[in-house]
């Protein structure tokens, strides 16, 4: 007759392998912390020596000199309850904090430790900003600097003298090559008698030389000082469009006739230089 097998006994509080929280396995997986630092050993030793010295001077020591300290019963009870509560709180912190730190690896642990430093820095910066606001100290960029959102305003560009100074002109005169010098002399005398701007009637631009700057570029390409132009007539020469310019020189005035298309790259004189009165 065989004996029925005995069912295994479930682990209980008295079983040394009973570890419902898994704390034993967690602590076993931690690396060896190594020897205790020497300065910590010295501090612990000093604390124990100080405690021993304090006990030696306690007035509640036993009268027989055995070294036993008499502690009131009510004080001992309070002490026991305080230590039980502190131990329970420590176990709760270890059970929650250690697995979370280990699950995040070294990065999670470092982030947890550095979080307090970051919060402290932010709080310090906020306090400093409030202090500056309270004292009225400027919190913007340093003196002499520009804020990134501020763009310096430049004065509007001013045209050069050559472009802004219009030339005295008369428009629409029909010139001939044979009578160019005589016709220009008569036009200048009429201008001098009437004053500046003998005829400022508008005319369409036919080419670069019909503009003041274009005419100056054309004359410079011909070797004539453009700044010495004193009078211009946008008319015709022998029936073809032409620009007649009078240049002031130390020896007198000189007339040139160029095509409206004359510019710095295509400088051709239709007539001149011719001395005029």
What confidence score (pLDDT) does residue 42 get? 92
Q: Is 129 left (phi over 0), alpha (psi -120 to 50) or beta?
A: alpha
Q: What is the pLDDT of residues 199-218, one digit of tens each?
A: 444 457 788 878 888 888 88
3-class secondary structure, 155: coil
Residues 6+ apart with CB under 8 A from 186: none
CA 209 – CA 216 distance, rounded (Å): 8
Give the separation between CA 230 and CA 209, rounded to whole angstroms: 15
Gyration radius from the chain CA atoms: 54
Per domain, the residue ranges of the chain are: 73-110, 165-276
**What are 14-69's pLDDT values in tens digits?**
566 778 888 888 888 888 877 888 898 899 999 999 998 888 876 555 545 555 55
Confidence band, pLDDT 50/70/90 cuts, at residue 156: very low
CA distance 218 to 178: 23
Structure confidence by residue, pLDDT tens digits, 117-130: 445 545 555 545 55
Higher-pLDDT residue of 147, 232: 232
- In the predicted structure, residue 140 carries a pLDDT above the cut 60: no
């Amino acid at each position: 007759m065989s004996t029925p097998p005995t069912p295994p006994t479930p682990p209980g509080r008295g079983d040394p392998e009973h570890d419902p929280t898994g704390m034993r396995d967690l602590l076993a997986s931690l690396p060896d912390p190594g020897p205790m630092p020497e300065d910590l050993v010295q501090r612990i030793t000093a604390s124990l020596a100080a405690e021993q010295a304090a006990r030696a001077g306690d007035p509640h020591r036993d009268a027989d000199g055995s070294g036993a300290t008499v502690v009131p019963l009510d004080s001992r009870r309070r002490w026991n309850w305080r230590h039980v509560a502190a131990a329970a709180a420590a176990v709760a912190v270890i059970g929650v904090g250690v697995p979370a730190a280990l699950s995040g690896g070294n990065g999670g642990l470092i982030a947890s430790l550095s979080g307090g430093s970051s919060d402290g820095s932010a709080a310090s910066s906020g306090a400093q900003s409030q202090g500056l606001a309270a004292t009225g100290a400027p919190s913007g960029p340093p003196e002499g600097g520009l804020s990134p959102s501020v763009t310096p305003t430049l004065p509007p560009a001013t045209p050069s003298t050559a472009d802004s100074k219009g030339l005295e002109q008369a428009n629409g005169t029909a010139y001939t090559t044979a009578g160019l010098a005589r016709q220009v002399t008569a036009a200048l005398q009429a201008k001098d008698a009437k004053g500046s701007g003998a005829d400022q009637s508008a005319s369409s631009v036919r080419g670069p030389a019909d503009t003041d700057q274009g005419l100056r570029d054309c004359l410079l390409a011909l070797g004539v000082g453009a700044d010495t132009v004193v009078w211009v007539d946008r008319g015709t020469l022998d029936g073809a469009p032409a620009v007649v310019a009078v240049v002031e020189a130390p020896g007198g005035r000189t007339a040139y006739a160029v095509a409206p298309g004359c510019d710095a790259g295509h400088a051709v004189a239709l007539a001149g230089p011719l001395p005029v009165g």
